[in-house]
């Protein structure tokens, strides 16, 4: 008489249906970002570090709501941040960001405050729009390169066709070689080339190595879903925020590689036991990072906007990483193993 295996077989029965959940969220994210781009001509809300503008730090107690209400029509795209003492929670300064030019911003603020702004009670920073736009494009290129090299490393580990590895490696290294060494590509051309290379790589993975494809899709889903939620929350992205997405790529891929390695290269137990073994290790890794970053976010929220944005994006991304590793990647990987049998 066959032993009942309801608990063991639950995932065997429904893991393909579980894939519909991340697919639905990804479709929603793509539609949302497409609509977002049509309205904003970009995929993110950018702060002045990426658009250019003036940042003023005022070292005095100011009612932020009154300031924004009074100056919203005088300063272009005004944004404010309060800085508090960590222990007393007392306001120490306020940061005013605007796209308005520095001299004009200073004049308007002095009229509102009723006194002159000097180096003792304030500090001014101005970033040109051309420099900010160039920096933004370089950060985007860095993200595309990160995806390309990450995917290639995964393919080197789990791929079996040496010829395809050489072809794909040449394709991936060609872009940075032309851009950094020979310097014959503009930044826009390098971004387009990187996107084309990424699409070709995904086709390679889909046709020749599904585990590599699963890792890349899971990491891409982490970025896509995080970006969507960041936009829904109305967070204005700075250069630090873009760097946080680069960090998130690294956080995303480690548990995916751990899972793929345990399922494909280990021989003890069946596929479900190997998945559970990987889950115990992987979820501990992710939760440890999540708790540490969550605590850091709580600490820095009152005095550092840059660190707050980095940690916020990482917390959101790690939450989606748990979802995409243990539903998206597990389902694709298990489907691949079952089909290979």
Report which of 238, 212, 201 is spatially closest to residue 79, judged by C-alpha positions: 238
8: its two tokens: 């063991």
Residue 130: the pLDDT is: 67
Residue finishing a domain among 75, 103, 127: 127
User: Are residues 66 and 35 both part of a single domain?
Assistant: no
On whether the CB atoms of residues 126 and 97 are closer than 8 A, the answer is no
User: Are residues 63 and 158 both part of a single domain?
Assistant: no
CATH of residue 82's domain is: 3.30.70
User: Are residues 156 and 233 both part of a single domain?
Assistant: yes
Report which of 137, 136, 154, 140 is spatially closest to residue 250, judged by C-alpha positions: 154
**DSSP 8-class letter at 185:** S
CA distance 3 to 240: 55
- The runs of H, that is alpha helices, within 209-270 are 210-232, 239-265
User: Are residues 158 and 42 both part of a single domain?
Assistant: yes
In Å, how far are 79, 83, 104, 111 from 67, measured between CA atoms?
Answer: 10, 15, 16, 12
User: Are residues 168 and 84 both part of a single domain?
Assistant: no
> How many domains in the chain?
2
Residue finishing a domain among 127, 161, 180: 127
On whether the CB atoms of residues 53 and 99 are closer than 8 A, the answer is yes
With a CB cutoff of 8 Å and minimum separation 6, the contacts of 298 are: none
Query: Is 15 inside a domain boundary?
Result: no
User: Are residues 199 and 318 both part of a single domain?
Assistant: yes
pTM over 0.75: yes
User: Are residues 243 and 262 both part of a single domain?
Assistant: yes
User: Are residues 87 and 219 both part of a single domain?
Assistant: no
CATH of residue 212's domain is: 1.20.1640
pLDDT by residue for the chain (341 residues), tens only, comes to 344 444 457 888 899 999 999 999 999 999 999 999 999 999 999 988 888 889 999 999 898 899 999 998 899 989 888 888 777 778 889 999 998 988 999 999 999 999 999 989 999 988 777 667 888 898 889 989 988 888 888 888 888 788 888 999 999 999 999 999 999 999 999 999 999 999 999 898 888 889 889 988 999 999 999 999 999 999 999 889 999 998 998 888 889 999 999 998 887 888 999 999 999 999 999 999 999 999 999 988 877 888 999 999 999 999 999 999 999 999 999 999 988 87
Residue numbers of the domain that contains 201 = 21-47+131-340
**DSSP 8-class letter at 182:** S
User: Are residues 106 and 249 both part of a single domain?
Assistant: no
If you write DSSP's letter for every residue of 297-339 in order, what string do you get? HHHHTTT-HHHHHHHHHHHHHHHHHHHIIIIIIHHHHHHHHHH
Residue 40: the pLDDT is: 92
Query: Is 248 inside a domain boundary?
Result: yes
- The runs of H, that is alpha helices, within the chain are 6-18, 20-40, 48-51, 64-71, 102-113, 129-158, 162-176, 187-208, 210-232, 239-265, 271-300, 305-323, 330-340
Query: Is 158 inside a domain boundary?
Result: yes
Residue 131: the pLDDT is: 63
Residue 221: the pLDDT is: 95
């Amino acid at each position: 008489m066959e032993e009942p295996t309801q608990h063991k077989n639950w995932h065997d029965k429904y893991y393909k249906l579980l894939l519909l959940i991340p697919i639905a969220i990804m479709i929603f994210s793509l539609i949302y970002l497409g609509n977002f781009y049509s309205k904003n001509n970009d995929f993110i809300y950018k702060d002045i570090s990426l658009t250019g503008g003036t940042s003023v730090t005022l070292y005095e107690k100011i009612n932020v709501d009154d300031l924004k209400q009074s100056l919203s029509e005088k300063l272009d795209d005004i944004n404010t941040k309060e800085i508090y003492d960590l222990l007393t929670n007392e306001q120490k300064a306020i940061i005013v960001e605007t796209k308005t030019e520095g001299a004009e911003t200073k004049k308007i603020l002095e009229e509102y405050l009723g006194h002159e702004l000097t180096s003792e009670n304030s500090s001014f920073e101005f970033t040109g729009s051309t420099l900010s736009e160039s920096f933004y494009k370089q950060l985007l290129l860095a993200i595309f390169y990160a995806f390309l090299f990450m995917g290639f490393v995964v393919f080197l580990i789990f791929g079996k066709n040496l010829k395809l590895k050489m072809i794909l490696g040449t394709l991936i290294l060609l872009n940075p070689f032309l851009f950094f060494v020979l310097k014959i590509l503009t930044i826009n051309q390098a971004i387009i080339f990187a996107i084309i290379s990424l699409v070709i790589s995904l086709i390679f993975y889909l046709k020749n190595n599904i585990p590599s494809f699963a890792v890349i899709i899971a990491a891409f889903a982490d970025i896509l879903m995080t970006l969507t939620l960041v936009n829904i929350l109305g967070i204005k992205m700075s250069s630090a925020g873009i760097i946080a997405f680069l960090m998130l790529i690294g956080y995303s891929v480690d548990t995916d590689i751990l899972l793929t390695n345990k399922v494909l290269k280990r021989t003890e137990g069946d596929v479900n036991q190997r998945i559970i073994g990987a889950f115990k290790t992987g979820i501990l890794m992710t939760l440890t990072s999540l708790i540490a970053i969550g605590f850091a976010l709580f600490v820095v929220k009152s005095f550092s906007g840059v660190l707050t944005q980095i940690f916020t994006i990482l917390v959101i991304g790690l939450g989606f990483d748990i979802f995409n590793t243990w539903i998206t990647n597990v389902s694709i990987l298990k489907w691949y193993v079952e089909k290979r049998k």
